[in-house]
Amino acid sequence: MSDEYEHKLEAKSDYTGDASSVSTPDIDAVPDAELPDQELYHSHSWWTTYVFSQDAKYIGIQYALTAIGTGLLGLVLSWLMRIQLAWPGLGWLEPSSYYQFVTMHGMIMVVYLLTALFLGGFGNLLIPLMCGARDMAFPYVNMLSYWAFVVAVVVLLASFFVPGGPTGAGWTLYPPQAITAGTPGYNGGIILMLISLILFVAGFTMGGLNYIITVLQLRARGMTLMRLPLTIWGIFTATVLAMFAFPALLVGCLMMTLDSLLGTSFFMPAMVSLGETLTHEGGSPILFQHLFWFFGHPEVYIVALPAFGIVSDLLSVHSRKTIFGYRMMVWAIVGIGALSFFVWAHHMYVSGMNPWFGFFFATTTLIIAVPTAIKVYNWILTLWRGNIVLSLPMLFSLGFIVTFLNGGLTGLFLGNVTVDVPLSDTYFVVAHFHMVMGIAPILVVFGAIYHWYPLVTGRMMNETLGKVHFWITFIGSYAIYFPMHYQGFVGVPRRYYEIYDSPYIDVSTLLLNKFITIAVLIVGAAQLLFLYNLFASARLGKKAEKNPWKANSLEWQTPQMPPEHGNWGKELPKVYRWPYDFSVPGAKEDYIPQTQPPSEIIGAKVEKT
């Protein structure tokens, strides 16, 4: 292998790339910069530094904190629901409040927590740093994106205070019930929900354009696309998906708003509502479902792909080993992203659409399992013969593998149209999607926060607290969702305010419900531990050394840590390799940062990237 490498070095020395630095040896040549250095906005007051900030790092933190704050509300709502399910005799909630909480919990967690956190939070923090840019391409628009998100959250929360309360239509907001009497919040809450989503999409589009253009245009010299960390590949592809998927949600929301306020009939057929014949005529409720899931299924991957990317990097860094099959991983991310637009109607097998669609969508859905499986194989093959450090990010990554594998495999049940018939709309579905797009990505979020916390604050989070947090969260959430699948086999339908032991249920599901609820309360409470650790460590945490995990990617190679405004000091970084050169034979250290030129590691048997 070494000869091969020497040969490549010779070939490389043929071209003279770097005209400015004559003194560097030819083997260290990187292509010239194609764009002049970015001119940055420099804040000059407290307001423009901390509130209306245009620095992507701050915006990322703002996004993350707002998303986590909203997510906490979602968590509390889940407690309230679970208590109702376990002890229905208490009369704890009215049915209408139960359905309102279910709806708000779902929407908050999927859109306002996970989407905002992964793309707005981690995207803003990591894209410029990992690509080697000074900031996002359009810092001002980036700021607007965050504030549009804030307004969207405020409108969403305002719906708790309008007459009738927030909408109780379920997070899928299916018409006609979403806007007809019989569903809580059918004339007030639902409108605010729709407006909030419209604002979210508008804000997200501003951020999303930034993420895409920054990745495509502002990468450091030498940072080819195939040298990008998988984190960036995940976030980038997810953003592209969002750009195509969110418009479907947007028009769906607009049309439903018109149906409700102006009496149009996009989604409303002639119908009777609680004894009264409505004036709507000729609309199609299934049309909304198509629009919703054309957004909704890619949305699953909008959350999952950044998690896939991040976990790949965490696994590689903390097992001190090259990510296995990088190119396959990139193509799998892109392939999953593309396929995710051809599977949406697997959410609608029993929706009343033409049943012959089932053949098509079952086939596409099972095809998507192949690239997804490849990703799982490559993660575990990264562990094989690694040198695994059981740090907090590694623990959470392992937790991700377990829960994602479980949730991914149950996806093969639901995607297979026949198996879906008895299981759809039961607790099997609830268990499946919480495992695969709730717990698994959240574990990655935690791993990522423990991993990048020193980059943001310059301090480490407390390891002991982190370990307690990990074990309770991981074991606890597995104990919540694994048994829940079996309630689905029994046939317990979802979205039931009260399940009570029906004649068809042989064994008490109430018993299982109590167990699950207790686990929910414990897991929820453990998150307080995390929050304490998150905020207290900013002051009390151990000072982090530079590049504390000995990682290769660019964000750890800034002149200062935490990086300052503009990230890179005077000179932008130059990139000579991919970020996965760990444990290279012949190298002195077990890692070679992306910025380390070949002339400094002569003798290391590194493969060309």
Cβ proximity to other proteins: between 34 and 506 the closer is: 506
Cβ proximity to other proteins: between 426 and 594 the closer is: 426
Outline where DSSP puts E strands in 245-325: 272-273, 276-277
Cβ proximity to other proteins: between 54 and 424 the closer is: 424
Smallest distance, other proteins to C-beta of residue 188, A: 15
Smallest distance, other proteins to C-beta of residue 482, A: 6
Cβ proximity to other proteins: between 346 and 574 the closer is: 346
Does residue 341 sit in helix, strand or coil? helix
Smallest distance, other proteins to C-beta of residue 224, A: 16
DSSP H/E element including 299: helix 285-318
Residues listed for the chain: 609
3-state secondary structure 20-59: CCCCCCHHHCCCCCCCCCCCCCCCCCHHHHHHCCCCHHHH
Q: How far apart are CA 206 and CA 198, in angstroms?
A: 13
Burial 43-54 (b: 16+ CB within 10 A, else e): beeeeeeeebbb
**Residue 133 Cα distances to 38, 369, 558, 563, angstroms:** 8, 35, 11, 12
Smallest distance, other proteins to C-beta of residue 261, A: 19
Smallest distance, other proteins to C-beta of residue 65, A: 31
Cβ proximity to other proteins: between 41 and 486 the closer is: 486
**Residue 63 Cα distances to 143, 204, 426, 570, angstroms:** 10, 11, 34, 28
Smallest distance, other proteins to C-beta of residue 353, A: 9
Smallest distance, other proteins to C-beta of residue 344, A: 16
Smallest distance, other proteins to C-beta of residue 31, A: 23
Smallest distance, other proteins to C-beta of residue 178, A: 9
Cβ proximity to other proteins: between 125 and 601 the closer is: 601
For residues 345 and 353, is the Cβ–Cβ distance under 8 A? yes
For residues 548 and 460, is the Cβ–Cβ distance under 8 A? yes
Smallest distance, other proteins to C-beta of residue 446, A: 16
Q: How far apart are CA 607 and CA 252, in angstroms?
A: 49
Question: Residue 578: is it exposed, middle or buried by C-beta count within 10 angstroms (0-12/13-18/19+)?
Answer: buried
Q: How far apart are CA 432 and CA 403, in angstroms?
A: 10
Cβ proximity to other proteins: between 285 and 541 the closer is: 285
Smallest distance, other proteins to C-beta of residue 266, A: 13
What letter does residue 112 receive in the DSSP assignment? Answer: I
Q: How far apart are CA 316 and CA 322, in angstroms?
A: 6
Cβ proximity to other proteins: between 257 and 487 the closer is: 487
Two tokens, residue 274: 């609680």
Cβ proximity to other proteins: between 94 and 600 the closer is: 94
Two tokens, residue 578: 């991919």
Cβ proximity to other proteins: between 370 and 531 the closer is: 370
Residue type, 438: G
Smallest distance, other proteins to C-beta of residue 456, A: 25
Does residue 537 sit in helix, strand or coil? helix
Smallest distance, other proteins to C-beta of residue 293, A: 14
Cβ proximity to other proteins: between 286 and 520 the closer is: 286
**Residue 434 Cα distances to 84, 106, 447, 452, 585, angstroms:** 19, 10, 18, 25, 42
Cβ proximity to other proteins: between 6 and 498 the closer is: 498
Does residue 272 sit in helix, strand or coil? strand
Angle between helices 326-339 and 230-261 (to 10 degrees): 10
DSSP string, 392-448: HHHHHHHHHHHHHHHHHHHHHHHHSHHHHHHHTTBHHHHHHHHIIIIIHHHHHHHHH
Cβ proximity to other proteins: between 219 and 318 the closer is: 318
Q: How far apart are CA 436 and CA 445, in angstroms?
A: 14
